Chain A
Amino acid sequence: MPTDTPLAILRLTVRNHPGVMSHVSGLFARRAFNVEGILCMPIGDGTQSVILLEVADDARLEQVVAQLRKLEDVRDVRHDPEARAAFEAVTRWIT
């Protein structure tokens, strides 16, 4: 993982249905935003999921957040620095 750019973690609460990942990942691809890591799990009764995104914390982050908030399936976007532990755990798992 590149360490020269500071990273931020976004926590998205989304409607859990097929296609929601296409909307989120497609947005990053077509707006040329970089995403370093993605974690996604259903929550509660399974009608919603949480997507954690590890992204570059640069001047474009505000625009990324604004674009994510426009997606119909995305119910909430917030910064979640404490979720770094989740990425660290996954990193240990896969390396």
Chain B
Amino acid sequence: MKTTGAALLMRLLERQGITTIAGIPGGASLPMYDALRASSIRHVLARHEQGAAFIAQGMARATGGPAVCFGTSGPGATNLLTGIADAKLDSIPLVAVTGQVPRAMIGTDAFQEIDTYGLTVPITKHNYLVRSAAELLEVIPDAFRVATSGRPGPVVVDVPKDVQLEALHVDVMPEPGRPDPPPPLDPDALAHAVALLSAAERPVLLVGAGVIASGAAGVLRRIAERMSAPVAATLLGLGAMPHDHPLFLGMVGMHAARSTNLVLEECDLLVGLGIRFDDRATGKVSEFCPRARIVHVDIDPSELGKIKQPTVGLVADVRAALEAIEPLVSAEPRKAWRARAETLRATFPLQMPDADDPCSPYGIVRHTAALLGPDAIVTSDVGQHQMWAAQAYPFTSPRQWLTSGGLGTMGFGLPAAIGAALACPDRTVACFTGDGSLLMNIQELATLAEERAAVKIILLDNGHLGLVRQQQELFYGGRYHASRFHAEPDFAAIARGFGIAACDLGDTREPFAALARALGTPGAGLIRVPIERAANVYPMVPPGAANRDMIEEARHAD
């Protein structure tokens, strides 16, 4: 078969099962786009490469499969970096393919030349500079193998323009890249873990993104019920257990319900499943679960003991580990511990003031959830709205909640929602965002209008960088600086300007009816919700403090 590097690239991507790619073309990627035109793969034209990376992330997070974005050399590549780094921190299988200047010009500071390889070393699982068209036969399957194996993550493939144009003859196409098999379970560590789980009087399961990545939600639930063990989730573990399961405690850490952190404070065994002991989850690490022994299950060996030394560390796919543990762990009612956990939950529940009012933080989250039902996908940006949604949205299934956890990237929500909607066209996608976050990738409203995706943007507008304002209030003596937006755009008018239906709950005397109408209308829409400007997210663990030391709303009410 006579072909070119660019045509071969598309054929290899098709064979990986890729059907949609988000990107923006440019000089050094024009041969790729010429070949893409002839491919069965659909291209989604983003309006900024960061948007393209997050659209791809939305597809990957919603489905669990790898997704692809394209950028050109130079600024195309640098604009992708934030989205790639975000995928690294949250372990998302993303394959970014970038154009590069021709090989002979590399190192000459050519127009739109940047060292994409060098820039992406610290933010990828692995990266490649392709030096010949024939190398693509190895590099592309390998890129997908790396992105999806073990702990997933982003991969960058940088392809010089002359490699894209290079003619070559291919006799045999390689097999598509597939994930490596998970590591075998260590029988001794497994037996030790089972013994600890069976003997614990006050166990808690703490579930993270690894539970969702490995598809372990079903066996997690069965083990929790068998052990009568309460389950808490990290920000990225939300959805692994249904919100209304009697054993589910909600989110742990900086903005947890007080009862959740107190249950962890009292546990004698913490079973960390696909978690990495992030500081927002643990608070002051030395005082996290101070009475507990720790069983830590993760597929990434470097996570075991990185932050917290476990009593037993199990390098494993979480699902495989839990399926091995399930028949061995003893079924226990643990009545005293369950009763204690119930007492704490009843005494220190999550407070959701004004939840009836659709123009309050918790009210808009709860009303949106009630109107959209359990099938909706929910994305968020980063800030107060993200924490309110994480606390209050009734998640029922894995991959329902897509949020930027590790990197905490404002601007994630809208393009990720577009990607999720493209990957799951029969589902509605709600994007909770703030007026600070939305402006960071607002150009993607054009992409949304073009794709006509079913994305409902719920804009919690308080005229501030709310979480910055909150920290300045609580920890910087109320010395506010650079957290207030003095120019306040008319977001509904802006959305309409992009061709997207919009409503402003501040302009109506019947906000609930307006919300119901907007959410019930097919297609894209923006709903602006004016939010009390001084509203804070509570409870809150001050950065660096122990999780038991939570600031409550009452102590700061006027």
Which residues of A are interface residues toward B (Cβ below 8 A)? 18-19, 22-23, 26, 30, 62-63, 66-67, 69-73
Report the bound CA distance from A73 to B128 in whole Å.
Answer: 11
Given A19-B117, A22-B118, A23-B121: A72 touches B302 (CB 8 Å cut-off):
no
Which residues in B have their C-beta under 8 angstroms from that of A73? 126
Q: What's the least CB distance linking B84 to chain A, in Å? A: 15
In the complex, are the beta carbons of A63 and B302 less than 8 A apart? yes
Which residues in A have their C-beta under 8 angstroms from that of B302? 63, 66-67, 69-70
In the complex, are the beta carbons of B117 and A30 less than 8 A apart? no
Given A26-B121, A30-B122, A63-B306: A19 touches B301 (CB 8 Å cut-off):
no
Question: What is the interface residue range for chain B against chain A?
Answer: 10 to 19
In the complex, are the beta carbons of B301 and A69 less than 8 A apart? yes
Which residues in B have their C-beta under 8 angstroms from that of A19? 117, 121, 127, 129
Given A19-B129, A70-B300, A72-B146: A63 touches B305 (CB 8 Å cut-off):
yes
Which residues in A have their C-beta under 8 angstroms from that of B118? 22
Report the nearest B residue to A22, measured CB to CB.
Answer: B121
Report the nearest A residue to B127, measured CB to CB.
Answer: A19
In the complex, are the beta carbons of A72 and B117 less than 8 A apart? no
B125 at the interface (CB under 8 A from A): yes
In the complex, are the beta carbons of B305 and A26 less than 8 A apart? no
Which residues in B have their C-beta under 8 angstroms from that of A71? 126
Report the bound CA distance from A69 to B150 in whole Å.
Answer: 13
Which residues in A have their C-beta under 8 angstroms from that of B125? 70, 72
Which residues in A have their C-beta under 8 angstroms from that of B126? 71-73
With contacts A62-B305, A66-B306, A67-B302 known, what are 19 further pairs, Cβ within 8 A?
A18-B129, A19-B117, A19-B127, A22-B117, A23-B121, A30-B122, A63-B302, A63-B306, A66-B301, A66-B302, A69-B302, A70-B125, A70-B300, A70-B301, A70-B302, A71-B126, A72-B126, A72-B146, A73-B126
Report the bound CA distance from A19 to B106 in whole Å.
Answer: 14
Report the bound CA distance from A62 to B126 in whole Å.
Answer: 22
Report the bound CA distance from A30 to B302 in whole Å.
Answer: 15
What are some 27 contacts across the A-B interface (CB < 8 A)? A19-B117, A19-B121, A19-B127, A19-B129, A22-B117, A22-B118, A22-B121, A26-B121, A30-B122, A62-B305, A63-B302, A63-B306, A66-B301, A66-B302, A66-B304, A66-B306, A67-B302, A69-B301, A69-B302, A70-B300, A70-B301, A70-B302, A71-B126, A72-B125, A72-B126, A72-B146, A73-B126
Report the bound CA distance from A70 to B304 in whole Å.
Answer: 13
Report the nearest B residue to A27, measured CB to CB.
Answer: B122
Q: What's the least CB distance linking A91 to chain B, in Å? A: 29
Report the nearest B residue to A69, measured CB to CB.
Answer: B301
Report the bound CA distance from A30 to B300 in whole Å.
Answer: 18
Report the nearest A residue to B142, measured CB to CB.
Answer: A72
Report the bound CA distance from A69 to B305 in whole Å.
Answer: 15
Report the bound CA distance from A55 to B259 in whole Å.
Answer: 44
Report the bound CA distance from A23 to B118 in whole Å.
Answer: 9
Which residues in A have their C-beta under 8 angstroms from that of B121? 19, 22-23, 26
Report the nearest A residue to B123, measured CB to CB.
Answer: A30
Which residues in A have their C-beta under 8 angstroms from that of B304? 66
Report the nearest A residue to B128, measured CB to CB.
Answer: A19
Q: What's the least CB distance linking A81 to chain B, in Å? A: 23
Q: What's the least CB distance linking A54 to chain B, in Å? A: 21
Report the nearest B residue to A71, measured CB to CB.
Answer: B126
